[in-house]
Amino acid sequence: MQEKKLNIVLVEPQIPQNTGNIARTCAATGARLHLVGPMGFQIDDKKLKRAGLDYWHLLDISYYDGLDDFFEKNQGEFYYFTTKGQHRYSDVSYPEDGYIVFGREDAGLPEALLFAHPDRCVRLPMIEGARSLNLSNTVAIAVYEALRQRDFQGLKTKGQLTKFQWEEE
């Protein structure tokens, strides 16, 4: 049986640094990254690699030609992050192998997709007039909320000092 992983889906990402930062978040947390094209950059873009280079070997990543290709190859529960969502991201129980989907930085997800799944559209609360948070910040918040809900299972939760030692609790 295949290990259940949180799935992060970027639909048509346009900014390589955002995707590199998101790749680093996925690598550090064990989440699987799905990149749905067309993208606004090449995967060998040095800005992308600089943001996530140290972690690229830890990354579980899949590529798709478009949304149709992605949905043909993946099944499960999908949650769509959008500023147009009617539900708070923290009110959702994300399944272990669920998909958290994000749209392109300049346009978001297609409204027809959102309209077809109103109960699966979630947002981060913000003040009136704020357009959105940076995509890589939003993904990090979503990933850590989903992982928090399962008590960060499989992740190292305590660190060590290099020159001192913590007292045992």
> Could you tell me which residues are annotated as the binding site for S-adenosyl-L-methionine?
103, 124, 132
Q: What is the spatial distance between Cα 90 and Cα 2, in angstroms, rounded to a whole number?
A: 27
Asked if residue 118 has a cis previous peptide bond (ω within 30° of 0), the answer is no
Q: What is the spatial distance between Cα 82 and Cα 132, in angstroms, rounded to a whole number?
A: 9
List % helix, strand, coil for the chain (3-state, nearest 5).
Answer: 35, 20, 45
Task: Return binding residues.
Answer: 103, 124, 132
DSSP label at residue 131: -
- Name the pairing type of β-strands 60-64 and 87-88: unpaired
SS3 7: strand
